[in-house]
Structure 1
Amino acid sequence: MTGELQGRRVLLIIGGGIAAYKSLDLIRRLRDAGGQVRCVMTAGAQEFVTPLAAAALSGEKTWTDLFDRADEAAIGHIRLARDADCVVVAPATANLMARMAQGHADDLATTVLLATRLPVLIAPAMNPAMWAHPATQRNLATLKRDGVRTVGPDSGPMAEPETGAGRMAEPMAIVAATQALFDVAQTPRDGALAGRHVLVTSGPTHEPIDPVRYIANRSSGRQGHAIAAAAARAGARVTLVSGPVGIPAPPGVDLVPVETARQMQAAVDAALPADIAIFAAAVADWRTDRDAARKIKKVGGGPPALALVENPDILATVAAMRAGRPALVVGFAAETHDVIALARAKRARKGCDLMIANDVSAGSGVAGGVMGGARNAVHLIDAGDAVISWPEMDKDMVAERLIAECVTRLEGLSEADLDAGSQA
Structure 2
Amino acid sequence: MQWVIGKGCNYLFKNEILKLIMSFEMVMNNFMMSKTLDDFLKKNRIDQEMWAASRLNWEQLQLIGRDYESRHEHLRDSAEFFARVIQRFPSVHSVRWRIKDTDHLLEKIVRKRSKNEVKYEDINENNYLSVVTDLVGLRALHLFKDECFAIYEALRSVWEPEENPIAYIREGDSGEWVDNFRELNFDVENHPAGYRSVHFVFSTQPTSRKIFAEVQVRTIFEEGWSEIDHRVRYPNFSDDQLVSYFLNIFNRMAGSADEMGAYVKDLTNALRQSGDELALAHKEKDDALAAMEKAVAELHSEKKQGADTQAHVATLQREIAKLRRSSSDYVSTGLTHRIFETLSNVNDRVIQTSKPDRLDPTLSFPSRLDAERRRAAAESLQRKLQQEMKKREQKKPTDPDTSEEG
Q: TM-score range by the shorter chain?
A: under 0.3
Question: Who wins on radius of gyration, i.e. which is larger?
Answer: 2
Structure with greater strand share of residues: 1
TM-score (norm 1): 0.26
Structure with greater helix share of residues: 2
TM-score (norm 2): 0.26
